[in-house]
Amino acid sequence: DKPGRREFRVQIPEIRDEHSATNNVTAVAVNVTDAALRILICDSRARWEYQYLVNLFRRQKQIEFDQLQFFPDPTGTGRREATAELPRTADEWAEYRVVILGDIGPEQLNVEGQAALREYIVDRGGSLIAISGQDAMPQSFTPGPLLDLLPVEQNSGFREDKAGYRVEMTAEARTMDAMRLTDDVVSTETVWREMSDVLPVYWLSEYNRPKPASEILLSAISNRSGAVATPMAYLCWHRTGAGRVAFLSSPSTYQLRMRNG
């Protein structure tokens, strides 16, 4: 009758001549959530990406979201209004189906908070989207539990390219309805290509090397003439425990979709 975690012990009786009864009992956990999709969106300040997402969520009747930003002054809405702080325990994180973290640092999300976030994702099946930033995310969390959760690692050989980057769909993205901007794959790829031509991505986090088990949905490829076309992860994700974590290596989806809705 209310949101929260429920744990059950399920057992079946032994039958005659059963070889082993050790697997006749197991633990089952269920997370009870609200019917609406509840999201926490947090950033250090109201970056363009943050504002774009907030306005997007406001137009979705099936989404409920709390906002949290820290500069110039810590302010929050909904469940975060009273404290203007990030959740501190796994139970508090579990109040949300999806958590979106922008360019925040360890000052806002300390080691204890990161450990609770990890429990929320790995043990309770939560979902995290981390959006990179030039100030803190994720480079200021080295080392720490948050970096372990991400589907990317530092690309030690990465050098920022002033010519910018184009964004291309991967083979996996072509099979996903969520990645389509039109009714068919061919037209969608054309839209992504045209957007990159008009508005290239000019900043990319050095954390753009996908971990072995990660799946890349969008690749970033240098526009520099003669550059080796080695794709880097623009958008990738992976499963970790019972949950999922996605990483966006550039806070620029607001500009990529500006002309296409």
Q: From first to last of the 261 residues of the chain, give the pLDDT tens digit.
A: 777 788 899 999 999 999 998 899 999 888 777 778 999 999 999 999 999 999 999 998 889 999 999 999 999 999 999 999 999 999 999 999 999 999 999 999 999 999 999 999 999 999 999 999 999 999 999 888 999 999 999 998 888 888 899 899 999 999 988 888 888 888 888 888 888 888 899 999 999 999 999 999 999 998 886 655 567 999 999 999 999 999 999 999 888 766 665
Look at residue 130 in the predicted model and tell me its pLDDT: 98
Distances 245 to 23, 127, 180 between C-alpha atoms, Å: 31, 6, 20
Three-state DSSP at 80 gives helix
* Cα-based distances in Å from 115 to 38, 112, 161, 212: 21, 5, 35, 23
Task: Please answer whether residues 243 and 125 qualify as being in contact, where contact means their C-beta atoms are separated by less than 8 angstroms.
Answer: yes
Alpha helices in the chain (DSSP H): 48-58, 90-93, 111-122, 145-149, 171-174, 185-198, 253-256
Q: What is the model's pTM?
A: 0.85
Query: What length is written for the chain?
Result: 261
pLDDT for position 103: 98
Q: Are 90 and 210 in contact (CB under 8 A)?
A: no
| DSSP state at residue 167 | E
| Gap between the Cα atoms of 192 and 182, Å rounded | 10
Q: Residue 261 has what pLDDT?
A: 59
Helix, strand, coil % over all residues of the chain, rounded to 5: 25, 30, 50
Q: What's the CA gap between 149 and 245, in Å, rounded?
A: 7
> How far, in Å, CA of 158 to CA of 48, rounded?
25
SS3 54: helix
pLDDT at 2: 77
Between CA 159 and CA 155 the distance in angstroms is: 9
The CA-based angle 151-152-155, given to 5 degrees, is 170
